[in-house]
Structure 1
């Protein structure tokens, strides 16, 4: 256990967002393939376009504080991404920004609180519950794992636990029947397909584990 967990400042969040953008670009075809089975076949393209725009904004002028950086990411996604993913991921980052507050850096607990606020924003906008076969099925177990690790692990260990839980949650969507979004129209035919939103959410948590420790 580390004596002093690493603080998460704007530079660290910049690395996280860029790593997520790179992961989305790398997995764009996979996300599109998954979404073609149970959705509009646009999740990969939409997320790739949105995250490319987020990185372009960071390249132009990276905000100085965590809240400003997260808000810029959220606003960019809302304005550039169509479908459900733009409003959902945009809300996620905007709620994180509001929870972060006017600080120069977030400690481990502060980041966990901001992350939970972001996920609560996703729930409020998408009205999803556990087992609905959505991104929430990856995000919720990640939050629980992060909370369980607080105080007993350094930041890297806690975030890797969260990323592992998100991956397990992603995999658990495959046998589920979708109850939200376009996939829900398929009824039982949605069973047997991994949810694209949960897949991109797992990428988000893995990027955090890779960069914020």
Structure 2
């Protein structure tokens, strides 16, 4: 599979739409655990990205620059803890594809593993803490294992998204151990973590784009 800079730009535009559509849902999840503003935060960050996509990045072909600038734009727009996490993820991924305008299955796998590892390194959370890591860690492990076996990004990323979804849903029964929601203790049980949910949306949106591209190709 060949994935171009235009495909990446289209992907980021679709994330903007998804976050706008799911803004209220993400806020509803966050009301059970925190300030109730996660959807608004994601919307603000991705609307800032949209501005970059429509202007500075409209004709950009360097995949590394696209990903890195998306990360920095999100960080500059969002003051909350999620800003540095996604910024690190997209900047890390950008380093893998720097200078390239078209990438293959191996590049795509390395990009998303760099994205996931960047977030994990920056956030310091562990699986079971009821955070974004409960989605991305199993997704990363599934992607790495599946791609090593198949050398096919689409099937491997499909496995990754399924694992991420399972991880996201697992947060419902977890007690929050990090951040504002940790003050709730046992009362944090029964609610799905909003950060784990928005992370799943970012991965799932990419899967949809790759599936659509493979049908066209």
Which residue in 2 is equivalent to 1:46?
A: 41
Which residue in 1 is equivalent to 2:160?
A: 162
Which residue in 1 is equivalent to 2:20?
A: 25
User: What is the DSSP-based 3-state SS (H/G/I as helix, E as strand, rest coil) of the residue aligned with 1:173?
Assistant: helix
Q: 2:134 aligns with which of 131, 134, 137?
A: 137
1:110 maps onto 2:107 in alignment: yes
CA contact (8 A) 1:138 1:168 kept: yes
Name the CA distance, whole Å, in 2 between partners of 1:168 and 1:21.
24
User: What is the DSSP-based 3-state SS (H/G/I as helix, E as strand, rest coil) of the residue aligned with 1:174?
Assistant: helix
Task: Summarize deviations over 1:19-52 as a string: whole Å, max 9, x none.
Answer: 2221111111110011111112111001011111
- Higher mean C-alpha displacement, 71-80 vs 10-19: 10-19
1:194 maps onto 2:189 in alignment: no
Q: Pairwise CA RMSD of aligned residues?
A: 1.5
The number of residues matched between the two structures is 208
Query: Which one scores higher on RCO, CA 8 angstroms, separation ≥ 6?
Result: 1
CA contact (8 A) 1:9 1:65 kept: no
CA contact (8 A) 1:38 1:186 kept: yes
1:175 maps onto 2:170 in alignment: no
Task: Summarize deviations over 1:155-183 as a string: whole Å, max 9, x none.
Answer: 33322222222111110111011111111
Moved over 3 A (4+): none
User: What is the DSSP-based 3-state SS (H/G/I as helix, E as strand, rest coil) of the residue aligned with 1:48?
Assistant: helix
Q: 1:72 aligns with which of 58, 62, 69?
A: 69
Q: Normalising by the residue count of structure 2, what TM-score does the alignment of the two structures yield?
A: 0.90
Shift of 1:153: 6.4
Which residue in 1 is equivalent to 2:50?
A: 55
Gap regions ≥5 residues in structure 2: 212-217
